[in-house]
Amino acid sequence: MAEMTLIGAIREAMDEELARDERVFITGEDVGPRGGVFRATIGLYDKYGPNRVIDSPLAELSIVGIGIGAALAGMRPICEIQFADFIHPAFNQIVNEAARMYYRSNGDWTVPMVIRAPYGGGIGGGLYHSQSVEAFFAHTPGLKVVVPSNPADAKGLLKAAVRDPNPVLMFEPKKGYRLIKGDVPEGDYTTPIGPANVTREGTDLTAYAYGMMHYYTLQAAEMVAEQDGISVEVVDIRTLNPLDKDTILNSFKKTSKALIVYEDNRFLGYGAEIAAILADEGFEWMDGPIRRLAGPDVPGVPFSHPLQEHFMPNPEKIAAAMRELAAY
């Protein structure tokens, strides 16, 4: 084991996959000599050269479109979108082309590509550098969507995504890039796409989260355990599509109460699907309302730091929601 930051684990995953498979290449804005705006690819241009770490034009539609074409031709592209907020010009390519290619060709064509994008708020980025867009894409059959919450999973999920025969979107919590640290196994390994992970055992209620919100939810669970004696089970969703319903339902059956935490707007956010599954398939175990804690329904995360803090869920807000639900 070696301790790494989230961004360090992502960089190491790309480094190892570039070395392992000559079909793998990276393309995106400033990913070459600069190493990307978050330095995710720093050093890879010098190591692998301009034919495998390719600076793209400022055109997300082209980044993804070129990736799709290369994947259809047998390559394994890793396409970086500089911020998830900028992914929308490529929406048609992702949803209408990459996601549907296998289905429309009756399995004759696959699109083995990865699209990486930092998402989420909390860094003072304002409206256009703080968005959570995962619900748009998790809704689409044919796309796999993963969101790591720790360095070990970040590395393992990215390596699994590169090797997957179909398109995978990996949304990375940018606030956690250097804040979240953890042990990463040595050697070659993958984290399977699909299974959720119970990261904390508990008996009084289950909290479901992913990405940065999972990191905060674990902190909140420790707070209420120490201060209030409340035992919270925490489930890291990790893969948003395909969703691990078995782990979600088994935990709910155990605790009978559910809190779902995500930082996107609450209305029709990803957590609404988890709530619907629990209500539909776990009704007989329910011992309280299914609660969601999310961002408010405003057009974006404000630039003002006090307003940003008002928008963002944090450990204190999550702990308060846990206490309220446990007391129901």
Annotated active-site positions, please?
129
Q: How far apart are CA 101 and CA 17, in angstroms?
A: 24
Residues 203-214, buried b or exposed e (16+ Cβ, 10 A)? Answer: ebbbbbbbbbbb
Provide the pairing of β-strand 197-200 with 24-28. Answer: unpaired
What's the Cα-to-Cα distance from 6 to each of 16, 95, 184, rounded to whole Å?
A: 16, 28, 10
- 132, 274, 115: which is closest to 209 by C-alpha? 274
- 233, 225, 229, 228: which is closest to 205 by C-alpha? 233
